[in-house]
Amino acid sequence: MRRWIAIIGALLFLLAACAAPAQERGPFENRVISVSSVPTVFDDTSAPVPSARMSPDQALATYLNGAQRQLAELGAYSDATVVEAYLPATAQHGKYELRRVYQAPRSLVFAAIHFAGDSFVKTNIITKLLQSEVDHVQKGEGARTAITSDNYRFSWKGVDTLDGRTDYRYQVKPRQKRPGLFKGFILVDAASGRLRRAEGTMVKSPSLFVKKIEFVQDYAEYGPFSLPVYLHSVANTRLVGRAVVEINHSGYQAKTVAETQSGAGASASAGGGTN
């Protein structure tokens, strides 16, 4: 049991750093568990994207500038969160529906709505994952794991098409080898410079019991913000095999810092996304 907790703790520490949150999916049992086969999930209420392409350098610069602005300007958001976890070796599964509320700079609260599945998965995986995300926010670690030029080096690798939109693919390499950072790729919209997807392998685990964590994380546009809508992660452990976690977020209501200070209404929500 102690080794179980060590494995789970390592997994949750890394997931909290990249965690994010979308639309419901079918049961784990009817799904191929493979990071490389994860389908694209984007909120279909996002505003249209201009058709004119930027150059790869312009798109990357636009993305990096926007990422820094988001760190400074995202004041609050709420969303509907669904977390699913599955242990293939034991066929244990759990699904937790919650309401998530963030208030800058260091407040994150989850309100439980409904849980179905194994109590072990709820107590030892999902609840601990949620607490890890709360701790990550309360410690103010967002800037240390953000996909910015402070944490990563970027190199253009070509053009992709995702969900009918043209994206640029950039390889990302962390400047330091520390938990919460990854090596892999990001996709940036060629017309808007907005982040569409991040995928890769976490570069460091805080536990010897976890060999590798791979993930795919998709983003959608809500007003000036690019917010995560879907995370699929597979952890390969030394003792219990794979541990799979999926997180979906939908119904974002987001505000800037200025709006939270003035008490204004939500600046971006489902159905109100703009570029």
- pLDDT (tens digit per residue) in 64-89: 999 999 999 999 999 999 999 999 99
Assess whether pLDDT exceeds 60 at residue 11: no
Whether the ω angle into residue 179 lies within 30 degrees of 0, i.e. cis, is no
In this prediction, residues 12-38 reach a mean pLDDT of: 43
Residue at 44 is within a domain: no
Residue at 273 is within a domain: no
Assess whether pLDDT exceeds 60 at residue 257: yes
pTM strictly above 0.75: yes
Tell me how many domains the chain contains: 1
In this prediction, residues 38-63 reach a mean pLDDT of: 68
Residue at 263 is within a domain: no
- Tally of CA atoms within 13 A in the half-sphere of 230 that contains its CB: 17
In this prediction, residues 46-52 reach a mean pLDDT of: 55
Residue at 123 is within a domain: yes
Residue at 264 is within a domain: no
Please, which residues have CB within 8 angstroms of residue 80's CB and are 6 or more apart in sequence? 97, 98, 99, 100, 249, 250, 251
pLDDT at residue number 172: 98
Assess whether pLDDT exceeds 70 at residue 35: no
In this prediction, residues 155-180 reach a mean pLDDT of: 95
CATH number of 184's domain: 2.50.20
More confident residue, 174 or 241: 174
The closest of 148, 182, 129, 123 to 11, measured between CA atoms, is 129
pLDDT at residue number 55: 97
The tens digit of pLDDT for each residue in 212-248 reads 899 999 999 999 999 999 999 998 877 777 889 999 9
The closest of 116, 73, 75, 71 to 98, measured between CA atoms, is 116
The range of the structural domain enclosing residue 102 comes to 2-26+51-257
pLDDT band for 206, please (50, 70, 90 cuts): low
* Distances from the Cα of 56 to the Cα of 62, 67, 155, 174, 225, angstroms: 10, 16, 10, 20, 21
pLDDT band for 18, please (50, 70, 90 cuts): low
In this prediction, residues 1-25 reach a mean pLDDT of: 48
The tens digit of pLDDT for each residue in 184-201 reads 999 999 999 999 999 999
- Mean pLDDT check: name the lowest of 5-19, 110-124, 126-140, 162-176: 5-19
Residue at 69 is within a domain: yes
